[in-house]
Amino acid sequence: MKTRAMQIKALVLAVALGLSGGASAIDFGKLLEERLNQELNKNKQPPAEQTAPPAAQSAAASPPPENQKIDARQLGFALFGDYSPEEEARIGRQISGNLLGAVPLVPDDKLQNYVNLVGNWVAAQSGRSDVKWRFGVLDTEDINAFAAPGGYVFITKGLYRRLGNEAQLAGVLGHEIAHVTKKHHLKVLKQSSLIGALGQAASKKAKDSDQVVQNLIGNGAEIMARGLDKNAEFEADRVGIVFAARAGYEPWGLPDVLQDLAGLPAKDARTGLLFKTHPHPADRLAALGEAVDGRLDAVQGKTLADRFYRIK
Amino acid sequence: MKKTFLIKGLALLLAMGAMPALAAQGTVLRNEKLYSQPSATSKVTATAAKGASVTILAKRGGWLQVKSGSSSGWIRLLSVRAGAGGLGGAGLGDVVGAATTRSDPSRVVAVAGLRGLDDEDLKQAKFDGAELARMDAWDASAAQARSFAARGGLAAANIAALPEPRPAQQPSTWEAN
């Protein structure tokens, strides 16, 4: 493992030191991309011990051009295993602050406090204590929910309004909490940061930016607009329903919400983004049904409809 | 907030056993059994094939009471989708959706400038430190969350993680994004 890490460091150094311009840089970018893909896929396939591509050495030996700026730290994020909790929190702060720039929080402190209490209780069952969980209701009639790395979770007022009890809220928050614990966004960022860094390496128009995180996440809350892989959504349903059940809620809160969403008309301005970034609710119900089957039959949980905070 | 009442009314109907005239349509998502009671230990009364249309009569916990052709019984909530959109993909409007969106308040709000979020809103968004600071301030402590849970009678339960339905399959392909 140590030698692998050193090989990769040598590669990063090669990029950081700069690439010779033109076609050779692009070739090198391609080579690096292949190498990085191997690195990213190392969990999927047994890691065959690789020798560093010979071009890496030659590129490392080439002199650094003046106006080529590669952010080594950005590449570092991408290359060296997991993000640290601090890096994760920084990334999450930036994405969340950007999202809040698009849509503010509902100015109702009682509502926000209530959602934070439910959310923190569900998150306490997630096994991730290295993040500080924060929950916010976004002031939009759009029907959606979001999560960002580092424990930031959002639900829109439009979705909140459709909920009928606390178990349903716990189910929705459980799904988002699962995105954080499974680091789904970080995996996407890891991929896109590679592409971004490689893009910078290949084009000579690298921007002079000291905003490592901003570079990493792209413009605004772009990652929220792009969404995640559909398997990540299925996984979050599977994991989230269990978080809610572990918190003492009846497990059917999330399925209830999915049933409600499945019944929405296709052409509804409020669900455009949700349906674009998630598998169809019917497909999510079906996938969850396969996973759950009779496994939660014995679970006795609460719905707490009486305590559910209603938006005026 | 007419819509809210409509939803509550529907939820209530589902919860209490709706009048047949207002019952919602649904589609069976996988081959399933219908039981005489909302329990897998009760008698199997019939089977329902994937793709079959059902009328949803009532809901209890993880179970729906449905009518399918001439047979009826209780089926797992996750084995049915509500709405008349069929097995998935392009879900078209349906009974529930039409009823709940007839007087859609967001349509009115949209005129006043608030609308759904779209890609551009998100991409163009500028960091709002003040809102983020508000959110950070709401952070509830673990102790507060525990006592909140206790007040609601919630107790942490030991529940095993669910298996991946298709273990042979590769995990998510981020390359496809």
- Tell me the DSSP string of A18-77: ---STHHHHHHHHHHHHHHHHHHGGGTS--PPPPPPHHHHHHHHSPPPTT----HHHHHH
Question: Is residue A47 situated within a structural domain?
Answer: no
Q: State the pLDDT at residue A3.
A: 53
Convert the pLDDT of each residue in B49-78 to its tens digit.
999 999 999 999 999 999 998 999 999 999
In whole angstroms, give the CA distance from residue B68 to residue A82: 50
Whether the CB of A124 is below 8 Å from some CB of chain B: the reply is yes
User: Which residue(s) pair with A269 in the sheet?
Assistant: none
In whole angstroms, give the CA distance from residue A101 to residue A90: 17
Q: State the pLDDT at residue A187.
A: 84
Q: State the pLDDT at residue B144.
A: 95
Q: List A residues 142-171 in contact with B (Cβ-Cβ < 8 A).
A: 142-144, 152, 156, 158, 161-162, 164, 166
pLDDT tops 80 at residue B90: no
Are the C-beta atoms of B161 and A242 separated by less than 8 Å? yes
Taking contacts as CB-CB distances below 8 angstroms, the residues of chain A near B62 are 250-252, 255, 296-297
Convert the pLDDT of each residue in B115-129 to its tens digit.
678 888 888 888 999
User: Cβ neighbours of residue B34 under 8 Å, at least 6 residues apart?
Assistant: B44, B45, B46, B47, B48, B66, B68, B71, B72, B73, B74, B75
Question: Is residue A281 situated within a structural domain?
Answer: yes
Q: In the structure encoding, which two tokens stand for residue B16, read together?
A: 């209490």
CA distance B49 to chain A (A): 14
Convert the pLDDT of each residue in A130-189 to its tens digit.
889 999 999 999 999 999 999 999 999 999 999 999 999 999 999 999 999 999 888 887
Residue A140 to residue B152, Cβ atoms within 8 A: no
> Closest partner residue to A289 among B78, B110, B152, by Cβ?
B78
Q: What share of chain B is helix, strand, coil (3-state, %, to 5)?
A: 35, 20, 45
Convert the pLDDT of each residue in A250-277 to its tens digit.
999 999 999 999 988 877 788 888 888 8
Helix axes A23-40, A184-202, angle to 10 degrees: 160
Q: Tokens 């840089």 label which residue? A: A25
Taking contacts as CB-CB distances below 8 angstroms, the residues of chain A near B75 are none
Are the C-beta atoms of A211 and B156 separated by less than 8 Å? no
Taking contacts as CB-CB distances below 8 angstroms, the residues of chain B near A40 are 174
CA distance A184 to chain B (A): 10
Question: Is residue A88 situated within a structural domain?
Answer: yes
Are the C-beta atoms of B67 and B54 separated by less than 8 Å? yes
Question: Is residue A45 situated within a structural domain?
Answer: no
Which runs of consecutive H residues, i.e. helices, occur in chain B? 2-16, 95-101, 105-111, 119-124, 129-137, 142-151
Question: Per-domain residue ranges for chain B?
Answer: 29-80
Q: State the pLDDT at residue A35.
A: 58
Q: List A residues 45-84 in contact with B (Cβ-Cβ < 8 A).
A: none
- Classify residue A73 by burial, with Cβ atoms within 10 Å: 0-12, 13-18, 19+: middle
Taking contacts as CB-CB distances below 8 angstroms, the residues of chain B near A241 are 162
CA distance B169 to chain A (A): 11
Q: State the pLDDT at residue A74.
A: 53
For chain B, what is the mean pLDDT? Answer: 75
Are the C-beta atoms of A74 and A212 separated by less than 8 Å? yes
Residue type, A128: R
Taking contacts as CB-CB distances below 8 angstroms, the residues of chain B near A243 are none
* Count of Cβ atoms closer than 10 Å to residue A53 Cβ: 17
Residue type, A203: S
pLDDT tops 90 at residue A2: no
- Classify residue A260 by burial, with Cβ atoms within 10 Å: 0-12, 13-18, 19+: buried
Q: Which of A2-6, B9-13, B50-54 has the lowest mean pLDDT?
A: B9-13
pLDDT tops 60 at residue A79: no
For chain A, what is the mean pLDDT? Answer: 78
Closest CA to B81 of B64, B67, B99, B101: B64
* Count of Cβ atoms closer than 10 Å to residue A156 Cβ: 26
Question: Is residue A77 situated within a structural domain?
Answer: yes
Q: State the pLDDT at residue A271.
A: 86
Convert the pLDDT of each residue in B122-177 to its tens digit.
888 889 999 999 999 887 888 999 999 999 999 999 999 999 876 444 444 455 44
Taking contacts as CB-CB distances below 8 angstroms, the residues of chain A near B39 are 297
Question: Is residue A25 situated within a structural domain?
Answer: no
Convert the pLDDT of each residue in A284-299 to its tens digit.
999 999 999 999 999 9
Q: State the pLDDT at residue B12.
A: 47
Are the C-beta atoms of A225 and A273 separated by less than 8 Å? yes
Bridge-based pairing of strands A152-156 and A134-138 is: parallel
**Residue of chain B whose Cα is closest to the Cα of A186:** B174
Residue B152 to residue A307, Cβ atoms within 8 A: yes
Global pTM value: 0.74
3-state secondary structure of B75: strand
Please report how many Cα atoms fall inside a 13 Å half-sphere around the Cα of residue B61, on the Cβ side.
Answer: 16
Helix axes A85-102, B129-137, angle to 10 degrees: 120
Residues of the domain holding A185: 72-307
Residue B105 to residue A141, Cβ atoms within 8 A: yes
Is CATH 1.10.3470 the right assignment for the domain spanning B29-80? no
Question: Is residue A31 situated within a structural domain?
Answer: no
> Closest partner residue to B171 among A222, A231, A281, by Cβ?
A231
Residue type, A210: D
Closest CA to A36 of A15, A21, A22: A15
Residue B162 to residue A231, Cβ atoms within 8 A: no
**ipTM (interface predicted TM):** 0.72
